Structures are given as structure tokens and as C-alpha cells.
């Protein structure tokens, strides 16, 4: 005969079916949220690539209105550059300081720091993003083989093909990677400032390439769009990994590519952080 205590324990003990539904129902909810976020991320990448694909088609088909826009802007900015040598010097300084090699070095140094701090996967994401994006941009140059502007009395020259702008691709990749690494360290106001500064740097580099007469407007726009698409794609892939190991969904544009990495990035964190 069962005692009153045994009957009470049996009554209040969670049934196996309830535990099963609670455990696997929660996992199903997480899977649905992950699927939705990944679908939205993939959609965002596709939307970013649409303007690039459109520009590529228009460039390859020598679309008249686009050609006239490119030529008109190039001639206007070139005329201004010829009359203002000091302005040209400033543009050359800006484009050199924020050129592709700068971002490659900075991202590699950041990756070395992350490796030292015990965040190898985050380091791999940073290096992969800038390397793959840069190589794809270079491959597109070869495939499209668009001629650079030929202007009278050029103030600057550059080798290779024109579309997309390599400087624009790499500055977008570099700024994007650094921002997404550093956002976990910043408060709301600092994040806004960081995005504004990053946008100014990217826009400034894109402008210098056109103002110096080595790229068309469509080249630099395509470079920025392509760089943003690569960053978005690798960020979505990293978010997939985060969710697969049980971490909460994040908002990379606000929290960074890995919100949990604050102690890995900050010099004030523990000696070697916690390995992923």
C-alpha cells in the first residue's frame, strides 16, 4: 500500500511526456528562430548583391546613361583636381593611408591578438573575410576587364582593370571587420559614432578614386556594395556556427559578430580569455 507521501510525490512529479515536450519543444523553437534569422541574413546578402549584379550588367552592356554619368563626374572632378594641387595631395594621402595594404595589416594584427587571447575562430573569420573578399574582387577585375578612365593631364595613375574598385572593396571589408570585432566593447553612443566614422572612411576612399581619375563612379559603388555583401555573408556563416554551439541569436550590426568576445578583445580581460 502506498503512503500519502508517495501518492503526493507521484502527483507533483513532472510526467516524462511533459519533460520531453519541454526539452524538445524548446529546441524546436530555437531551430525555428535560427532558421528565420538565417533566412533573413541570406535575404540581406542577396539584396546587397542585387545592386552589384545590376551594375555589372550595365557596365558589360555599355549602358548609355551610366556611361554618361561616369564620364560627366570624372571630367568635373578632374577639372577641379587640375586647378587645386593641394587638394590632389590630400586625396593621395587619404587613399594611401586607407588603402588595401593598411586594412590587410590591421586585420592580420587583430587576428594575431585574437589568437593570443584564445579566440581562434573569431580570428579565422576576420582573416577569411578580408582575404576571400579581396581575392574575389581581384578575380572580378580580371573577368570584367573594364578600362580605367583616360583623362588629359592625369593627376594619378593606377595599374590593372577598373571594375570593381579594389580600394573600395578592401576599405569596406577592413572597416566592416574591425567594426564587427569592436562593437562588443562600445556603448550605444560609441557604436553610432563608430558607424559614422567607418562610413566616412569608406566614402572618402571611394571619392578619392574617382577624384584622382583612376576609377569611374560605378566602379567605386560596385566595390563598396561587393565588400558589404562579403562581410554580410561571412557574418551570417559565423552566426550559424554560434547558434550551432548553443549561443543566443545576436544582432551583429549592433552587438558585433560575437557579443561574447568582449574579454577576448579587451586588453583589460583575463590573460588568455576562454577558448571557444
Contacts of 6 (CB under 8 A, 6+ apart): none
Question: Residues 67-95: pLDDT tens digits?
Answer: 889 899 999 999 999 999 999 999 999 99
Q: Which of 62, 25, 3 is nearest to 218 (CA)?
A: 62
Q: Which of 154, 177, 143, 170 is nearest to 77 (CA)?
A: 154
Q: Chain-wide mean pLDDT for the chain?
A: 80
pTM comes to 0.78
DSSP assigned state of 246: T
Question: Residues 209-242: pLDDT tens digits?
Answer: 999 999 999 999 999 999 998 998 888 877 776 7
Distance CA 89, CA 17 (A): 74
Higher pLDDT, 240 or 135: 135
Q: Provide the pLDDT confidence category of residue 118 given band limits of 50, 70 and 90.
A: confident
Q: Are 148 and 112 in contact (CB under 8 A)?
A: no
Amino acid at each position: 500500500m502506498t503512503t500519502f507521501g508517495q501518492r503526493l510525490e507521484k502527483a507533483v512529479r513532472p510526467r516524462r511526456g511533459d519533460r520531453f515536450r519541454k526539452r524538445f519543444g524548446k529546441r524546436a523553437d530555437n531551430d525555428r528562430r535560427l532558421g528565420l534569422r538565417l533566412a533573413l541574413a541570406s535575404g540581406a546578402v542577396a539584396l546587397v548583391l542585387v545592386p552589384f549584379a545590376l551594375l555589372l550588367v550595365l557596365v558589360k552592356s555599355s549602358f548609355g546613361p551610366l556611361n554618361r554619368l561616369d564620364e560627366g563626374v570624372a571630367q568635373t572632378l578632374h577639372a577641379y583636381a587640375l586647378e587645386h594641387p593641394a587638394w590632389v595631395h590630400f586625396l593621395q594621402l587619404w587613399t594611401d593611408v586607407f588603402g588595401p595594404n593598411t586594412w590587410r595589416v590591421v586585420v592580420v594584427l587583430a587576428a594575431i591578438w585574437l589568437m593570443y587571447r584564445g579566440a581562434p575562430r573569431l580570428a579565422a573569420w576576420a582573416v577569411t573575410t578580408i582575404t576571400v573578399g579581396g581575392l574575389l574582387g581581384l578575380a572580378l577585375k580580371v573577368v570584367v576587364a573594364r578600362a580605367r578612365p583616360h583623362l588629359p593631364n592625369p593627376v594619378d595613375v593606377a595599374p590593372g582593370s577598373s571594375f570593381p574598385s579594389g580600394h573600395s572593396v578592401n576599405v569596406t571589408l577592413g572597416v566592416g571587420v574591425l567594426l564587427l570585432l569592436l562593437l562588443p566593447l562600445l556603448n550605444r553612443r560609441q557604436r553610432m559614432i563608430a558607424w559614422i566614422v567607418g562610413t566616412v572612411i569608406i566614402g572618402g576612399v571611394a571619392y578619392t578614386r574617382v577624384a584622382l581619375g583612376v576609377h569611374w563612379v560605378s566602379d567605386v559603388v560596385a566595390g563598396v556594395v561587393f565588400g558589404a555583401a562579403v562581410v554580410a555573408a561571412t557574418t551570417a556563416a559565423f552566426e550559424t556556427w554560434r547558434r550551432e554551439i548553443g549561443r543566443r541569436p545576436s544582432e551583429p550590426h549592433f552587438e558585433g559578430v560575437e557579443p561574447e568576445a568582449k574579454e577576448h578583445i579587451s586588453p583589460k580581460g583575463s590573460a588568455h580569455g576562454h577558448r571557444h
